[in-house]
Amino acid sequence: MRTADAPTPAPLHRPRGSAVRALRLATGLVLVTYVTGHLVNHALGVISIDAQEALLAILAPPWQSLPGTLLLYSALVIHALLGLYALWRRQTLRMPAWELTQLTLGLAVPLLLIPHVFGTRVASALLGTDTTYHVVVAALWSSPTAMIRQPVLVVVVWTHLAIGLHYWLRLSRTYRRGLRFVYPLAVIVPLVALLGFWGAGFELAAAPAAPGASTADEAAAPAARALLDARERLTYGVYASLLVLVLAARVLRRGFHTRHGAYRIHHSNGRVITAPIGHSVLEALREAGVPHASVCGGRARCTTCRVRIGHGTRSLPPPGATETSALQRIAAEKNVRLACQLRPSHAVHITPLLPPHVGPAELEAGRSPGRERAVAVMFVDLRESSRLGEQRMPYDVLFILNRFFAEMAEALHETGGYYSTFNGDGLMALYGAQTDLRSGCRDAMRGAMAIATRLAKMNTALQSDLGEPLRVGVSIHAGEAIIGTMGPPATPILSALGDTVNVAARLESETKRHGCVLVISSACARAAAVDLTRFPEHTASVRGRNEPVTYYAIADPAAIAPCLPELANARAA
């Protein structure tokens, strides 16, 4: 096998554009809509089978109309074919457990669904049978195989659906905030649907059989039933053949790539990985068992798999439209590429820019390899913290400090701040990493108010343990800073560097000078479009700066509430 040091043919590119993803999403959402309504209809079986029939009379007509039928079954066929395409386009089956689970369940859905479809809609078209709950449930309960297959189908379809929706939406802050409500629904819907299926079956079993009643199988003409069975077997055979064909084609493709060259990845951890040409960097790392970040599963939606390229940038294929769009969103440098999209044909040196287990929360906090951005920087310092240990056991001091930092972290979280670093008795926080500067500065001011409120409650709760209440000094300054992840590769943190950070740290000491809780720089007030002239204004010199910094000294953070438009309007309302 040739390596990247020898001449190699051009890599084989496959269509992986946004059009395929958009089609998969559109067809998936059509099926989600149908399945959700279908399972809710099933769930009414816990009340009665007549309740199921009543809702079916409302839900069925749109889907049974010609446009609804074309939409539903087109979405079903296309989504199944895209599942086979997803299996084909993956160069390696080494992937995170959630991706493997979703892919496996998606491929299994048609095998379980074909008998159900032929037993209902196709049987209705060919045999003229009814598809009411009375008929369908009776037919399912008369078949031991169907009694097992139907619950398995519900679990497989719903799990595949839930995984897909979750990993599509989990980059959304709104979705993550609502997950506590979504998760119970995701469990309850299929559970109650299965209980409804069983409830309807027991109700039919207990009801006396109507004279002349017969199952769909008994009522159907033998010739029509034979035709239905033949078409069901044909559909099974077509899908199974396509699945086998894709698996065989993967083996042939792997052999072709192995014979026609490989490239080397020189990882920053010291490993050298050899991968067949055609593998993306992310696929090569997964195949080699090297952990690498990829929140979206390699779909170029999150940019967490980005790497910095060392040697070999000139020999790399240019980024496509999807990769270019993603990199532009984070203002990436020219030597930064997405590992899920990059398919080299020559040796490449890479340095991952995010830890391998990064998640959506870190994305929200604005993780990046380093970029200049206007932000608000807050410093919080616990006053006279050394006195805590004079008359207390070390465990007691640790308890108080942990409680203090927990309260500070909650205050930052509820006001949109990011807990960046702490130094034993203080911390630094960033605001505006994901918003504009004005919003970031106003959020920082609200954060100072939240800190004061939470600290007051903590002092009241621990009054007997503290003796004297805890006091803090808080400073806020705004301006340009370099934002990026810093620290050891396994445990990096989002932090900031630059003059803005130095000024914010210097201003925190001014709270001691004036005996106040909060100091806000004039630059921050201007950026927030907030008038703080009612408070005394002072100046301070900062090492390394020729011009002094002006700021406002505020004894009680709650006093700035009337200056913040959103808070003032809320009080007026």
> Confidence band (pLDDT; 50, 70, 90) for 14?
very low
What pLDDT score does 269 carry? 81
For helices 144-169 and 179-206, the axis angle rounded to 10 degrees is 170
> Confidence band (pLDDT; 50, 70, 90) for 160?
very high
Whether 32 and 76 have beta carbons less than 8 Å apart is answered as no
| Mean pLDDT for the stretch of residues 345-366 | 72
> Confidence band (pLDDT; 50, 70, 90) for 96?
confident
* DSSP codes of every residue in 422-483: E-SSEEEEEE-SSS-HHHHHHHHHHHHHHHHHHHHHHHHHTHHHHSS---EEEEEEEEEEEE
Domains of the chain (ranges, CATH numbers)? 18-253 (1.20.1300), 262-352 (3.10.20.30), 365-572 (3.30.70.1230)
> Confidence band (pLDDT; 50, 70, 90) for 8?
very low
Q: Residues 417, 300, 35, 151: is their CA dihedral positive or negative?
A: negative
Highest mean pLDDT of the ranges 150-154, 204-208, 542-546, 569-573: 150-154
What pLDDT score does 568 carry? 54
Q: Give the phi and the psi of residue 23 in degrees, each rounded to 5.
A: -70, -40
- Average pLDDT of the residues of the chain: 83
245-267: pLDDT as tens digits: 999 998 888 777 677 778 889 88
Q: Is the pLDDT of residue 362 over 50?
A: yes
* DSSP codes of every residue in 482-531: EEEEES-SSS-EEEEESHHHHHHHHHHHHHHHHT-SEEEEHHHHHHHT--
Residues 6 or more apart whose Cβ sits within 8 Å of residue 164: 28, 102
CA nearest neighbour of 375 among 446, 520, 517, 476: 476
> 494 - beta bridge partners?
485
Q: Is the pLDDT of residue 184 over 80?
A: yes
| Mean pLDDT for the stretch of residues 277-288 | 88
For helices 222-259 and 97-117, the axis angle rounded to 10 degrees is 160
Whether 280 and 95 have beta carbons less than 8 Å apart is answered as no
What pLDDT score does 553 carry? 94
CA nearest neighbour of 519 among 501, 539, 502, 499: 539
CA nearest neighbour of 500 among 521, 514, 528, 516: 521
State if pTM tops 0.75. Answer: no
How many residues in total does the chain contain? Answer: 573
> Confidence band (pLDDT; 50, 70, 90) for 5?
very low
Q: Is the pLDDT of residue 191 over 60?
A: yes
Tell me, what amino acid is at 341? Q
What's the Cα-to-Cα distance from 344 to each of 106, 300, 309, 339, 397, rounded to whole Å?
30, 17, 11, 10, 55
464-504: pLDDT as tens digits: 777 788 899 999 999 998 887 666 655 567 778 888 999 99
Whether 418 and 365 have beta carbons less than 8 Å apart is answered as yes
**By percentage, how much of the chain surpasses pLDDT 90?**
37
